[in-house]
Amino acid sequence: MLAIFDVEGVLLDAEFLPILAEKINKQDEIWAITRQGIEGKINWEEGLKRRIELLRGIDYKTCKEVSDSLKVMTGAKEACNALRAAGWKIMAVSGGFTIMTDRLKEELGLDHVYSNELLFKDGKLDGVIIEVDSDKSKSALVKIKEWNEKKETIVVVVDGANDIKLFDICGLGVAFRAQDMVKELATVTLEEKDLSKLIGLINKHYGLKIPLPTIA
């Protein structure tokens, strides 16, 4: 069985680019574009390029400091520990960046992460390589096929409009503190800001008895 998570707003309790933008006082502009993308009002890829362009020139050290400061979501470690102990594979698919997901992969013991990559030139932010676009299912399906996972045994936990195509490839779609359009398409919703509650939803849906361990 496989659990697939979004990162910003799900495994991480923050959005990276708006916080980075505060360093150069462009947070209002970045948030406006971010919201439009999350709500599905603009093309996600174009929105990402526009945000990176606004932030061009920020030094790598600042980007790394902001990335390392992002807090892991309440209950994320417990949920991942419980799933891993029960023999599940865990994947994250993020429209964010390797600068943040590399740390998260190690902290949460994720089996695989798909994300985008920030480009730096002479130590300054200079662009982005988009590996994960608005159809996150395309990325996820690569490993799903490799691991021979069946749709009915896949759980997806997301919050934004750019995540919803992942619902097409899963048996249980969870809207975590999500946009209305995401809630409408999900199997179940989780409003409480505690990812450990996911285990109860999985147990109920699949008739399982996965115990919830404490953080090691």
> For 87-112, what is each residue's pLDDT tens digit?
999 999 999 999 999 999 999 999 99
Say if residue 216's pLDDT is above 60: no
Q: Rounded CA gap, 142 and 119, in Å?
A: 24
- What CATH number did the domain enclosing 80 receive? 3.40.50.1000
- As for how many domains the chain has, the answer is 2
> Is there a domain that residue 214 lies in?
no
How many whole angstroms separate alpha carbon 135 and alpha carbon 129?
A: 16
Which of 176, 179, 174 is CA-nearest to residue 191?
176
- Looking at residue 213, its pLDDT comes to 65
Q: Residue 163: which domain range?
A: 2-13+72-206
What's the CATH code of the domain at 38? 1.10.150
Amino acid present at 90? I
User: Do 196 and 214 meet the contact criterion of CB atoms below 8 Å apart?
Assistant: no
Are 63 and 83 in a shared domain?
no
State whether 63 and 124 are in the same domain: no
Element (DSSP H or E) covering residue 80:
helix 76-85
Which amino acid belongs to residue 59? Answer: D
The residue with greater pLDDT, 20 or 39, is 20
In this predicted structure, the answer to whether residue 146 has a pLDDT above a threshold of 80 is yes
Within-domain flag for 212: no
Does one domain contain both 92 and 50?
no
Indicate the pLDDT class of residue 42, thresholds 50, 70 and 90: confident
